[in-house]
């Protein structure tokens, strides 16, 4: 009887194994259909995902404003502290966006249009300037003619044709859909902030039912740590990028650099990505300044921006970010490289907090295993 049960168990093992192999094979065989299905679900859920992200960004300001209003002497304000705080924070955000659209965006648009219209003239003037450099100059060793011919071989037809026009039309339709999705996301974010206590309460109850107490407490600990790391990183990087953009724009205006606001905005935006972003933003700004203001102005720009970057790295950024992300520069570079390779610009931006969380998990696992070994030895 025991032998029969052993044989039956063996056959069941191989049957389950065969079924698992078939499932894996069919999954891989229809991988494109599965990815399309997942992409379709993500497209539908994207307004809600963006809404969660907006609510996440505004959570701390709304919470702080709610604490202030809850201490009010007025009973109605105290009773409705949460909705009033959300209304105030969103109103401030809308005012900032409107001001940016009315003042900053037109200046940036004008700069971009002017740069695009005069790019050929800037290019020709730069080439002539290189030709007039003295023979003994080190810049003479640069093969300007070859670079010029390479750029001249680029045909406008490669970028503007019927297919690209069709893509532009699809892009315009996509923008309209995007605006609608953003409106839905905006409304979703408001409801999430209003009902955040009920949502978090439900998630905690569900986790408490599914997991054991020890696992539940560990998950709560890592959730709080992860939340603190991500929020600190996102808020500090955005604030740091804004400060760097403003300081760089002012410095460029003093130097008389053309398109100072555009280039300052570019450097501030690129500064959101650790290490690589600043290099790319500064490099593009120097190239544009060579075309628009000459080599001397570009060199001065490089010197000033490098000084500002050092001030940011050693004074401004540590003050804003603090010591919340205790991660080595080598791991930061590795994280940004991996994130950019697989998930593009967004991956480069979020790679650092993700790897910081992974580092904490690995460190805790190592400590746990060492404790187990010590207990076993003793």
pLDDT tens track, the chain, 378 positions: 545 555 656 666 677 777 777 666 666 565 566 667 677 777 778 888 888 888 888 888 888 888 898 888 888 888 888 999 999 999 998 898 888 778 777 777 777 777 777 767 766 776 666 666 665 555 555 555 555 555 455 444 444 455 554 554 455 455 666 677 778 888 889 999 998 888 888 888 888 888 888 888 888 888 888 888 887 787 778 888 888 888 888 988 888 888 888 888 888 888 887 777 778 888 888 888 887 887 888 888 889 888 888 887 777 766 665 555 666 777 777 888 888 777 777 778 788 888 888 888 888 888 878 887 776 655
Element (H, E) at 189: helix 162-194
- Asked if 320 and 200 count as a contact pair (C-beta separation under 8 A), the reply is no
- What is d(CA 216, CA 220) in angstroms, rounded to the nearest whole number? 6
Q: Considering only CA atoms, which of 280, 290, 284, 283 is closest in space to residue 258? A: 290
CA 313 to chain centre: 19
Cβ atoms < 10 Å from Cβ of 312: 20
Decide: residue 32, CB within 10 A, 0-12 exposed, 13-18 middle, 19+ buried. exposed
Structure tokens at 69: 């209003």
Cβ atoms < 10 Å from Cβ of 68: 11
Q: Considering only CA atoms, which of 334, 327, 318 is closest in space to residue 276? A: 334
Answer whether 0.85 is exceeded by the pTM: no
Task: Write phi, then psi, for 295 (nearest 5 degrees).
Answer: -70, -40
Cβ atoms < 10 Å from Cβ of 84: 17
- Asked if 285 and 361 count as a contact pair (C-beta separation under 8 A), the reply is no
- Asked if 237 and 272 count as a contact pair (C-beta separation under 8 A), the reply is yes
- What is d(CA 27, CA 14) in angstroms, rounded to the nearest whole number? 20
- What is d(CA 257, CA 298) in angstroms, rounded to the nearest whole number? 9
| Burial state string for 202-241 with b = 16 or more CB within 10 A and e = fewer than 16 | eeeeeeeeeeeeeeeeeeeeeeeebeebbbbbbebbeebb
């Amino acid at each position: 009887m025991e032998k029969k049960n052993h044989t039956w168990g063996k056959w069941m093992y191989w049957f389950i194994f065969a079924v698992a192999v078939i499932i894996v094979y069919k999954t891989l065989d229809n991988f494109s259909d599965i990815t399309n299905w997942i992409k379709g679900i993500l497209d539908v859920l994207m307004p809600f995902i963006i809404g969660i992200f907006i609510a996440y960004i505004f959570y701390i300001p709304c919470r702080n404003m709610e604490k202030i209003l809850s201490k009010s002497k007025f009973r109605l304000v105290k009773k409705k502290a949460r909705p009033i705080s959300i209304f105030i924070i969103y109103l401030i955000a809308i005012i900032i966006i409107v001001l940016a659209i009315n003042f900053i965006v037109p200046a940036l648009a004008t700069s971009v249009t002017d740069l695009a219209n005069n790019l050929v003239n800037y290019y020709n003037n730069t080439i002539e300037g290189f030709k007039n450099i003295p023979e003994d100059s080190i810049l003479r060793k640069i093969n300007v003619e070859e670079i010029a011919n390479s750029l001249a071989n680029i045909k406008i037809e490669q970028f503007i044709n019927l297919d690209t026009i069709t893509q532009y039309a699809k892009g315009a339709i996509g923008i309209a859909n995007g605006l609608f999705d953003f409106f839905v996301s905006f409304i979703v974010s408001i409801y999430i902030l209003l009902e955040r206590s009920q949502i978090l309460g439900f998630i905690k109850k569900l986790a408490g039912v599914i997991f054991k107490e020890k696992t539940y407490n560990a998950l709560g600990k890592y959730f709080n740590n992860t939340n603190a790391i991500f929020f600190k990183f996102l808020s500090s990087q955005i604030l740091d990028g804004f400060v760097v953009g403003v300081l760089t724009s002012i410095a460029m205006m003093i130097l008389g650099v053309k398109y100072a606001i555009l280039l300052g905005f570019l450097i501030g935006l690129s500064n959101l990505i650790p290490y690589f972003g600043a290099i790319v933003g500064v490099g593009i700004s120097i190239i544009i300044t060579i075309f628009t203001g000459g080599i001397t102005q570009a060199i001065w720009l490089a010197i000033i921006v490098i000084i500002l970057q050092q001030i940011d790295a050693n004074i401004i950024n540590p003050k804003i970010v603090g010591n919340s992300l205790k991660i080595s520069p080598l791991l930061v570079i590795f994280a940004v490289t991996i994130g950019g390779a697989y998930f593009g610009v967004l991956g480069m931006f979020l790679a650092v907090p993700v790897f910081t969380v992974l580092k904490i998990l690995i460190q805790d696992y190592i400590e746990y295993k060492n404790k187990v070994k010590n207990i076993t030895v003793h």
